[in-house]
Amino acid sequence: MTHDRWTSGDSELTNALRALYAAPAEESYWDALEARILHHVARGDERPMWWEELADLIRPGLVAAAALILAASVAMIRSEQVEARSAYASLITPSPASVEASTRGTSVGDGDMAIHFLLSR
């Protein structure tokens, strides 16, 4: 990359872009543009506004919202059932005795037992 901002290639490119983006010189372009604008203004408010278009989407939107609420409710009930079964199973099934507690008592002195108990939680 050169440090010169304007090189001979840049002036050629600038002239080409000016020619490309220059306003049309033909009078017919401006007359057609004026006619299109006046036609649009004369039409008035024939086209519906954006919020009027939303009225057509009310019924499908309500159906989609109801389906989402139903799916979320089913998922929540299923999750609660699984959680209840898991809690019940943990109460019914006896947990194995902790081997850690019995070995820790012999390897750690009486003064450090409370610290190790608190740190293990």
Within 13 A of 103's CA, how many CA atoms are on the CB side? Answer: 4
Are the beta carbons of 70 and 78 closer than 8 angstroms?
Answer: no
The alpha carbon dihedral of 20, 26, 31, 32 has a sign of negative
Q: pTM for the whole thing?
A: 0.38
In angstroms, the CA 7 to CA 14 distance is 11
C-alpha span between 15 and 22 (Å, rounded): 10
In this predicted model, what pLDDT tens digit does every residue of 17-47 receive, in sequence order?
Answer: 998 999 888 899 999 999 999 988 888 766 6
What is the mean pLDDT of the segment spanning 68-93?
A: 92
pLDDT beyond 80 at 115: no
Q: Which residues contact 120 (CB under 8 A, 6 or more apart)?
A: 100
